[in-house]
Amino acid sequence: MRKRILWILVLVLLLAGGLVWAQKAKVTFFWALYDGLTEEYRASLQDAFMAANPSIDVDIVPIQWDLMQEKMTTSVAGGQPPELCVIGTRWLLDLMSTDSVLEVDKVVSKKTLDNIAAGAMEAKIQGKLMGLPIAAGARIMTVNNDITRVVPKTMEELRAEAKRVSKPPQTYGLIMPGKKHTELTDFCYYLYAAGGDYFAKNADGSWGKAVFNNPAGVKALQFMVDMATKDKITQEGYLGLTRMDSHPIFYEGRAAYVMIGAWVESAMKQANSKFKAQYVQIPPFAGQKPASLIITDSIAIFKKARYTKEAGQFLDFFYQDQWKAKFDELVGFPPVTVSAAKLPQFQSPLYQALGQAAMTAKGWPLIEEWAEVSDIIWDANVKAFLGQMSPKAALDEAAAKVNRARGM
Amino acid sequence: MRDFRAAATIPLRQRLWNPEARLAYLLLAPAVILLLGFMIYPVVYVFLISLFRTNKLAQLKEFAGLKNFVYQFTDKEFWQITARSLYWTAIAVAVKAVLGMIVALLLNVKYAGRKVARMLFIVPWASAVPISSILWRWVYHPEYGLLNATLKATGLWANPPTWLGMPLPAFTACIWVDIWIGIPFMALVFLAGMQAISEDLYESASLDGVNGLQKFFYITLPGIRHLVLIATLLSCLWTFNDFNTIYILTRGGPAGATDILITKLYKNAFEFLKFSPAAVMAVVTFFILTGLAIAYARIYFRQEQGQ
């Protein structure tokens, strides 16, 4: 009897082992749900790759952008990372500090890499490409031409024109979210436009102590506070509205100006906007040079994932114009591949404006603690909006907190 | 008695390792393994994290002793958040208990449509908290929200506040949603207790000329005392850890005005990837809630013994 049980056990083990051995490679891809991206596209990409590569399964898992970092962190910490994940490029530093990510050129073909625009390679850190750029877009301003045709050359002109056309609650001069959301974009537009920056640059190129509380930073925040509280030209209840809540007011045609990203055209199409939109540059403050914000996202490949080679094959497939250009078109980002950038659909006024903005745009400072820094500065902004503190006092307090959080 | 004496003479080893005991161990093993794996291990690991420096994946890197605790305890914001967690819980549970009691009394009265009313009252509790919170976020929306539109249209409040954008209104708005979701639980528990009280007591009280208020304080309330204790204890534990409502409505804002320990803990762990401060907050939460549970248990058992 015992012998029989033993034989059965051996057979079961052999069968299980055989099943594992015969299992198809499976690439899991944590896929960010960008505005404009459709389920139909995700499914068709998945099916097309599997049809072309019958020995590989791919599971493209759609995830809300706000939840992506948590989902990725818990998967990596749990020892079960996906093969691929869309990340904010700035997250790479955290991932590199734990030796979690693989250099892209180890699995992605040279042909694919040669087709990526050099300017999109923000993920090249210390000479190594740690993430494959998936989206890179500078921020621009969109003007509702049904309300105004004035294209302001400076922030001061923008404020004057927004004030002139603002007739709340029917029409607002400018959309400005006042409730914290994932990114600290809004303060950044004004900070960069005032010639400011977040941190001092050390001699070795690293980021030093906080400087966003210097006169440029204070000028930027004071300007935002004045527009919202003195001029009252921003949308009503701006303190309770995030970017996602407030941009629809612009799409509805009830605001003259909005500072926004590449998704504006597809979002307006989805919202069935009826007005004529004009895409222009975010103006600098008088006496300053234009400087917009550019944000890049990348695809990370995880070292501990099982099928990294197959993940590379998938990326080679995805980065063909047939798929990647369609992706860019859906999400509205300017293409990161050289070949797609030449396609006719990317020669529109929107892409021209985005291209022009990219020439002078700056990215976020690449620091490990960016998420916390961003949260602290957001709180400082809100304290100033609420009148709890002056912009200078709020930014000084935030700078001290940021330096403490970074151990400086 | 003889059996006990006989059992006492059996060696300990034999008592703990005999065929019957072995079967018991085997049957208990799955539950013990699950308990160890999914409850004890995470709790122990959180305690460990609080004493170590960790990397961005919560892996222990360097022993820090009590440094993580000292760092938090010297931070003014930590104490503000802890105090807010306590009064958030106290206010919410008190209001839930009072309103829950009123609702239970109303549902306990015999009238046509009582069953429908009972069913409808369960809806907020039966719905998923995130869904209720998202619905309320829309109700509070400054541009399209039902609340402000109603207040303005009826002339009750010409300039209502931006509910989720200002500190006091945001706190009030969050706590109201927590209360709204929690009332049905309280009401149902109280109602169950009320229905177990004998009608005879009320009838004889009526014959003695006792009024409604006196009946409530001398019959109903003492009759459901134990249930009130248990329901409020459970509500305290849930309310103290009510992450969903606050995170969905305000994410702890504006400027941290609605952050409680559980939301700040989440931010530290999953947004800032700072697991040690998050673990310190989890440990503090653990002790506060354990202390609360022990205090309740002592009161409960003291009352049991007194009876």
- Render pLDDT for A238-289 as a digit per residue (tens, 0 to 9): 999 988 889 999 999 999 999 999 889 888 988 999 999 999 999 999 999 9
Tokens, residue A172: 């607002």
CA nearest A387 in B: which residue?
B166
- Measured between alpha carbons, how far is B23 from A324 in angstroms, rounded to an integer? 61
**Position A5 in a domain:** no
pLDDT (0 to 100) of residue A6: 66
The number of domains in chain A is: 2
**Position A264 in a domain:** yes
Is pLDDT of A69 > 60?
Answer: yes
pLDDT band at A17 (very low <50, low <70, confident <90, very high): low
pLDDT band at A310 (very low <50, low <70, confident <90, very high): very high
How far CA B305 is from CA of A317, B224, B294, B296, B301, in Å, comes to 74, 17, 16, 14, 6
pLDDT (0 to 100) of residue B6: 61
Question: Which residue in B164, B270, B274 is closest to A240 by CB distance?
Answer: B164
Is pLDDT of B2 > 60?
Answer: no
pLDDT (0 to 100) of residue B8: 63
Same domain? B92 vs B210: yes
Q: How far is B254 from chain A (nearest CA, A)?
A: 7
Same domain? A160 vs A287: yes
**Position A4 in a domain:** no
Residue with more model confidence, A369 or B66:
B66
Q: Please judge whether A382 and B143 are an interchain contact, meaning their C-beta atoms are less than 8 angstroms apart.
A: no
Same domain? A271 vs A391: yes
**Position A361 in a domain:** no
Q: What are phi and psi of A365, to 5 degrees?
A: -65, 130
pLDDT (0 to 100) of residue A358: 86
Backbone torsion region of residue B251, taken as left when φ is above 0, otherwise alpha when ψ lies between -120 and 50, otherwise beta: left
pLDDT (0 to 100) of residue A19: 55
Residues of A in contact with B272 (CB under 8 A): 369, 371-372, 375
Same domain? A280 vs A303: no
List, for residues B163-205, the tens digit of each pLDDT value: 999 999 999 999 999 999 999 999 999 999 999 999 999 999 9
Is pLDDT of B306 > 70?
Answer: no
Average pLDDT over residues B152-166: 92
**Position B5 in a domain:** no
Lookup result for tokens 């929306």: B141
**Position A360 in a domain:** no
Which residue range(s) make up the domain with B46? 16-68
**Position B8 in a domain:** no
pLDDT (0 to 100) of residue A18: 59
pLDDT (0 to 100) of residue A111: 95
Q: How far is A91 from chain B (nearest CA, A)?
A: 11
Question: For residue B219, how many other CB atoms are within 10 A of its CB?
Answer: 18
pLDDT (0 to 100) of residue A77: 82
Is pLDDT of A323 > 60?
Answer: yes
Same domain? A204 vs A349: no
Same domain? B42 vs B77: no
Same domain? A248 vs A327: no
**Position A7 in a domain:** no
pLDDT (0 to 100) of residue B14: 84
Per-chain mean pLDDT for chain A? 91
List, for residues B9-50, the tens digit of each pLDDT value: 778 888 888 889 999 999 999 999 999 999 999 999 999 999
Same domain? B96 vs B170: yes
- Among A356-360, B172-176, B214-218, which range has the highest average pLDDT? B172-176
Same domain? B145 vs B260: yes
pLDDT band at B3 (very low <50, low <70, confident <90, very high): low
- Measured between alpha carbons, how far is A214 from A195 in angstroms, rounded to an integer? 11
Average pLDDT over residues A314-341: 91
Same domain? A61 vs A112: yes
CA nearest B160 in A: which residue?
A237
Per-chain mean pLDDT for chain B? 91
Percent of chain A beyond pLDDT 70? 95
pLDDT (0 to 100) of residue A46: 96
Same domain? A190 vs A241: yes
Residues of A in contact with B270 (CB under 8 A): 69-70, 73-74
- Measured between alpha carbons, how far is A12 from A15 in angstroms, rounded to an integer? 5
pLDDT band at B120 (very low <50, low <70, confident <90, very high): confident
Same domain? B60 vs B186: no
Same domain? A174 vs A258: yes
For A206, the 3-state DSSP assignment is: coil
pLDDT (0 to 100) of residue A15: 66
pLDDT band at A296 (very low <50, low <70, confident <90, very high): confident
Q: Please judge whether B270 and A388 are an interchain contact, meaning their C-beta atoms are less than 8 angstroms apart.
A: no
pLDDT (0 to 100) of residue A104: 94
Average pLDDT over residues A1-6: 66
How far CA A56 is from CA of A41, A52, A300, A303, B119, in Å, comes to 19, 9, 19, 19, 51
Q: Please judge whether B255 and A245 are an interchain contact, meaning their C-beta atoms are less than 8 angstroms apart.
A: no
Q: How far is B128 from chain A (nearest CA, A)?
A: 19
B8, B38, B68: which is the final residue of a domain?
Answer: B68
Same domain? B60 vs B83: no
Residues of A in contact with B144 (CB under 8 A): none
A252 touches chain B (CB under 8 A): no
Question: Which residue in B140, B142, B254 is closest to A386 by CB distance?
Answer: B254
Average pLDDT over residues B76-87: 95
Same domain? A151 vs A238: yes
CA nearest B57 in A: which residue?
A77
What CATH number has the domain bearing residue A145? 3.40.190.10
A94 touches chain B (CB under 8 A): yes
Average pLDDT over residues A315-332: 92
pLDDT band at B126 (very low <50, low <70, confident <90, very high): confident
Lowest-pLDDT choice from A3-17, A37-51, B51-65: A3-17
Instruction: Give the residues across from B300 on adjacent strands.
Output: none
Q: Please judge whether B253 and A379 are an interchain contact, meaning their C-beta atoms are less than 8 angstroms apart.
A: yes
Average pLDDT over residues B49-56: 92
**Position A19 in a domain:** no
Same domain? A145 vs A257: yes
CA nearest A178 in B: which residue?
B165
**Position B3 in a domain:** no
Q: Please judge whether A77 and B57 are an interchain contact, meaning their C-beta atoms are less than 8 angstroms apart.
A: yes
Same domain? A188 vs A247: yes
Lowest-pLDDT choice from A69-73, A104-108, B30-34: A69-73
Same domain? B51 vs B87: no
- Measured between alpha carbons, how far is A352 from A279 in angstroms, rounded to an integer? 9
**Position B4 in a domain:** no
A343 touches chain B (CB under 8 A): no
CA nearest A182 in B: which residue?
B271
Lowest-pLDDT choice from A22-26, A278-282, B210-214, B276-280: A22-26
- Measured between alpha carbons, how far is B158 from B198 in angstroms, rounded to an integer? 51
pLDDT (0 to 100) of residue B167: 94
Is pLDDT of A20 > 60?
Answer: no
**Position B265 in a domain:** yes
Which residue range(s) make up the domain with A149? 140-291+369-405
B68, B98, B129: which is the final residue of a domain?
Answer: B68
Same domain? A348 vs A230: no
Q: Where are the beta strands (DSSP E) in chain B?
A: 52-54, 60-63
pLDDT band at B147 (very low <50, low <70, confident <90, very high): very high
pLDDT (0 to 100) of residue B273: 87
Tokens, residue B257: 């005005």
Same domain? B55 vs B74: no
- Measured between alpha carbons, how far is A174 from A228 in angstroms, rounded to an integer? 9
Same domain? B188 vs B125: yes
Percent of chain B beyond pLDDT 70? 97
How far CA A47 is from CA of A50, A58, A363, in Å, comes to 5, 8, 35
What's the CA dihedral at A63, A64, A65, A69 to 10 degrees? -60
Amino acid at A130: M
Same domain? B123 vs B40: no
The number of domains in chain B is: 2
B25, B44, B68: which is the final residue of a domain?
Answer: B68
Is pLDDT of B55 > 70?
Answer: yes
**Position B1 in a domain:** no
Measured N-to-C along each axis, helices B114-126 and B167-195 cross at an angle, to the nearest 10 degrees, of 130
pLDDT (0 to 100) of residue B5: 60
**Position A236 in a domain:** yes
Same domain? B33 vs B156: no
- Measured between alpha carbons, how far is A137 from A122 in angstroms, rounded to an integer? 12
The sign of the CA dihedral A31, A36, A42, A43 is positive
pLDDT (0 to 100) of residue A262: 86
Same domain? B132 vs B191: yes
Terminal alpha carbon distance of chain B? 29
The two beta strands, A172-175 and A132-138, are unpaired
- Measured between alpha carbons, how far is A124 from A135 in angstroms, rounded to an integer? 15
Average pLDDT over residues A36-58: 93
Is pLDDT of A9 > 80?
Answer: no
Lowest-pLDDT choice from A129-133, A306-310, A346-350, B55-59: B55-59
pLDDT (0 to 100) of residue B307: 60
Q: How far is A397 from chain B (nearest CA, A)?
A: 13
Average pLDDT over residues A139-163: 97
